[in-house]
Every structure is written in C-alpha cells, then in structure tokens.
Amino acid sequence: MEMRVLVSVDMEGIAGVVHGEEVIPGHSEYERNRKLLTAEANAAVRGIYTYDAAAQVQVTEAHASFRNLLPDLLDRRVELLRGTPKPGGMMAGLAEDTDAVLFIGYHGKAGTPRSVMAHTISGGTVADVRCNGRSLGELGLNTALAAHYGAPPVLVSGDDTVATEAAEVAPGIRSIVVKRALGALSAAMLHPDEACDRIEHAVPEALAGREDVRPLRFDGLVQLEVQVHRPRMTEHALLVPGMELADGCTLRYQAPDFPTAYQVVELIATLGAV
C-alpha cells in the first residue's frame, strides 16, 4: 500500500530570505522568492518519490493567504491545497491515514531571540500560545496536531533556531538548516540550490526513520491560553462562548481535544486582527 505524505510549506524559513518584505506580495523580491519556495517544496517531493515511487503526496500552503507557491512550477505528481480559509489551515490535508508530515520553510516561534522573522500564526496579533502551560510556536502546534492523527512529523527545514525548537517538540525529527540566524532580519545562508539538494537527500532517510520520532502529544482536555499584543485584540474573541480573559492580553479556553484547541488559536488570531 502506497504512503500518504503531507508537505506543509511556509516561507520565512526558506534559503534566500531574511526580511518580511521579501515574503509579502507586492514587494519587488516576492516573485523571485516564490520560485525559491516552490523549488524547496519540489526538492522535498522528489525525496518522497525516491523513497516511495507510488506515494500519494499533498502539498499544503502554509504562509499568509496560502497563495504563494507557483502551481505551474510545482511537481505535477502532487495535489496542491491552496487558498484561504481552508479546513486545517497550515495542516490542511492531514487525516488519520496520513503516514508522515514534512515542514518546509518553517521559522521560530514568537519571542525566540536571534531568530529570522520569528512569530506565531500572526506576528501582529499573537505574542504566545500555551497548551496546558507549554509555549508552542507554529511548528509545535503542527507537530502536535500531526501526532493527534498518528502521523509522524519527520522533517523540518528552516534556520538553526527552528531546528532547536524541533528537537524539543519532536525528538527524532530530521532538521535541515538552510540558514544560520544572525538576528531577526539577518542570516548566513546556503545557496538555494544547495538547500534544495540537502532537503531532497534527507527526506528518504527521514521517512525511513519515521517510527523513531516522538512528537509532543496532547490527549484529552487542553487548557489553551493565547496572549495577544494589545487588550483590544481580545474583544471579538470574548464573544465566543466559553472564552475567558485571564489577564488584559491573555485569552483562556478549555478545549475538549487538541484539534479544537488548534482551531481556536486560528480563530483568535483572525478575530484579533479585525
């Protein structure tokens, strides 16, 4: 039976970018960086097919409005999940029959020092996300969601700080460091072609070792806390039944399970920006 693999593709963590303007539509360098992004996604896909030529691969967009990859340049063997809103957000396509998850172009969580463009979900809104008291960034949230469905997160690419974060939230995961952060907006980075080669060559080994990954997992009730930057960013979310204000900038919600907590984080980030 063929494997079913999900590739979640963010943008801040790819080789070649260090500034927010480089990943925002309308800026001069964005179109070039879409090509770099698509190339890294394709490298991961080639690695998957090297491991299992019959694999079913979905690539899900995970940056901003989820319209960044260039469909005509993406490997024609994959299914692309694109546009917003889409069920599951950054992890759209994840299901109980998913055999493995890869994260391409990921970045550190909000508050991480010396980390390129570190943020969580929405940099302008969310200061921190805590599940049962544990602070999580996008990688932590997404690995935990994958673990809930029994899909091991096997590989992440990005800067050195996200590699450190990966070791904490998913021991055994393979990390490909495509740039070494020098600051929030600076890095020493690989050539984009070298980054792609390293990703492609690492994927088969990562898939082969998927049973050795031990991702963070939340079973049962989840006490969710989301800290936003300003008190006014809590007001729309407080209209949601069960939502509480823990302090001026922190919302609290008791979720029946982790997928619900994950959706509530997305909702708070959306409402906080209204």
Per residue in 205-257, pLDDT (tens digit) is: 999 999 999 999 999 999 999 999 999 999 999 999 999 999 999 999 999 99
Q: Is residue 19 part of a domain?
A: yes
Percentage of the chain exceeding pLDDT 90: 99
Low pLDDT (below 70) residues in the chain: none
Query: What pLDDT is recorded for position 220?
Result: 97
State the CB neighbour count (10 A cutoff) for residue 95.
Answer: 12
* CA separation for the pair 169, 213 (Å, rounded): 10
Query: What pLDDT is recorded for position 240?
Result: 97
Considering its fold, how many domains does the chain have in total? Answer: 1
85 prior amide bond cis, ω within 30: yes
**pTM for this model (two decimals):** 0.98
Query: What pLDDT is recorded for position 2?
Result: 87
Query: What pLDDT is recorded for position 87?
Result: 94
Query: What pLDDT is recorded for position 48?
Result: 98
Q: Is residue 103 part of a domain?
A: yes
CATH code of 74's domain: 3.40.50.10780
Question: The domain containing residue 164 runs over which residues?
Answer: 4-117+137-212
